[in-house]
Amino acid sequence: MSGGEKPLADAIEAALIPLEHLTVHRDGNVIVARTSLNRSQRVALAGHIDTVPVAGNLPSRVEDGLLHGCGSADMKAGVAVQLKLAATVTAPAMDTTYVFYDCEEVEAERNGLFRLSRTTPELLAADFAILLEPTGGVVEGGCQGSLRAEVRAVGERAHSARSWMGRNAVHEAGRILDLLRRYEPREPEVDGLAFHEGLNAVGISGGVASNVIPDECVVTVNYRFAPDRSADQATEHVRQVFGEWEVTITDLAGGARPGLARPAAASFVAAIGGTPRAKLGWTDVARFDALGIPAVNFGPGNPSLAHTRGEHVALAAIGECEAKMSAWLGRR
């Protein structure tokens, strides 16, 4: 899906261009639509339009008020809210910037919001930002960082009928997996919210031919780290854990501290209600955080269902989120 967003970006652009209160910008498959009402404050509402790969969960279907399907929770529901607000809240209390971007579910370098934050940060300028990632309808503060690395076991090739002449790199990789099974993740509290780390293999690959002892096996690991640890500290930690093997960092995105005490975030939390909690998944609040823009996550859908075969979202939750956002945005 990531990388194939053009038809979606085309459709979003076509839907927004007729709206007279919005100025629409396009950059690749990123669409930015802004009001220009000279309000004293500006809020950015952002959502990504890609999903993880389909897992036998398309076509989507509605059943008993639930919308089932790949990406339903992460985050077509949030994007639907964005579109509805863009079309209906024509005179918001704050100037509003709607951001629809591509390639969030893949390596950070391809992320459309990251690209804009480097090339045209003025398009993203705001006093406060909300990512409409699935949060179960409550405000989720900050986010965990994400590091990906390849951990490489090496060996020596031989004919598999004389395996003792070589060294089996796949067998050796078993020691890497043993270490991952034994790993105890941290669960630190940061700015009053409880985070929960994880270090996991997300892929493994090795093998030359079916009669050859393999001389290389690569385990791809993903470290999700709490925002009390910097990207550099996370790198150091992973290198330490896998000290015995060659480690190549392939993707790294720092987290964001919750920072809910900042005025803009606090006012939004007060308006929405509920008890904020930590965002465990990495989201682009970290991107806004890096631009100096306070940001939180708030959107329909259960975050635990994201990236699962059984992904779904309640239609009522989408409506409820839209109603709350609409009331807050429209309020003077």
Residues with catalytic function? 50, 104
The correct pick among 307, 320, 326, 330 for binding its own copies (CB under 8 A) is 307
The correct pick among 306, 313, 321, 329 for binding its own copies (CB under 8 A) is 306
> Applying CB under 8 A, which part among 49-57, 60-68, 111-119, 121-129 lies near its own copies?
49-57
Q: Is 209 in the site for its own copies (CB under 8 A)?
A: yes
Quote the least distance from Cβ 248 to its own copies, whole Å: 14
**Nearest CA-CA partner of 78 in 281, 309, 224, 291:** 281
**3-state SS assignment for residue 17:** coil
Q: Is 6 exposed, middle or buried (0-12, 13-18, 19+ CB in 10 A)?
A: exposed
Instruction: Give strand pairing partners of 26.
Output: 31
Q: Is 281 in the site for its own copies (CB under 8 A)?
A: yes
Quote the least distance from Cβ 266 to its own copies, whole Å: 25
Q: Is 161 in the site for its own copies (CB under 8 A)?
A: yes
The correct pick among 20, 40, 59, 181 for binding its own copies (CB under 8 A) is 181
**3-state SS assignment for residue 137:** coil
Tokens standing for residue 164:
């003792």
Of the pair 242, 328, the CB lying nearest its own copies is at 242
Q: Is 144 in the site for its own copies (CB under 8 A)?
A: yes
> Applying CB under 8 A, which part among 22-30, 59-67, 198-206, 284-292 lies near its own copies?
198-206
> Applying CB under 8 A, which part among 4-12, 124-132, 164-172, 267-275 lies near its own copies?
164-172
The correct pick among 214, 227, 258, 300 for binding its own copies (CB under 8 A) is 214
Write the CB contacts of 9 (distance below 8 Å, at least 6 apart in sequence). Answer: 26, 28, 29, 30, 31, 49, 100, 102
The correct pick among 85, 272, 303, 312 for binding its own copies (CB under 8 A) is 303
**Nearest CA-CA partner of 41 in 89, 96, 117, 123:** 96
> Applying CB under 8 A, which part among 113-121, 141-149, 238-246, 293-301 lies near its own copies?
141-149
Quote the least distance from Cβ 304 to its own copies, whole Å: 5
Q: Measure the CA–CA gap between 116 and 321, rounded to whole angstroms.
A: 27
Q: Is 329 in the site for its own copies (CB under 8 A)?
A: no
Q: CA dist 299 to 22, 81, 133, 139, 294, Å?
A: 22, 8, 5, 8, 17
Quote the least distance from Cβ 36 to its own copies, whole Å: 36
Quote the least distance from Cβ 272 to its own copies, whole Å: 22
**Nearest CA-CA partner of 225 in 201, 254, 182:** 254
Bridge-based pairing of strands 277-278 and 128-131 is unpaired
Bridge-based pairing of strands 128-131 and 295-297 is parallel
**Nearest CA-CA partner of 300 in 283, 312, 285:** 312
Quote the least distance from Cβ 132 to its own copies, whole Å: 17
Q: Measure the CA–CA gap between 31 and 113, rounded to whole angstroms.
A: 10
Tokens standing for residue 215:
């001389």
Q: CA dist 278 to 106, 134, 297, Å?
A: 22, 13, 10
Q: Is 258 in the site for its own copies (CB under 8 A)?
A: no
Quote the least distance from Cβ 281 to its own copies, whole Å: 4
Q: Is 227 in the site for its own copies (CB under 8 A)?
A: no
- # of chain residues touching its own copies (CB under 8 A): 62
Q: Which residues bind its own copies (CB under 8 A)?
A: 52-53, 55, 74, 105-107, 144, 146, 148, 157-166, 168, 170-171, 173-174, 176-178, 180-181, 196, 198, 200-214, 217, 219-220, 222, 224, 251, 280-282, 303-304, 306-309
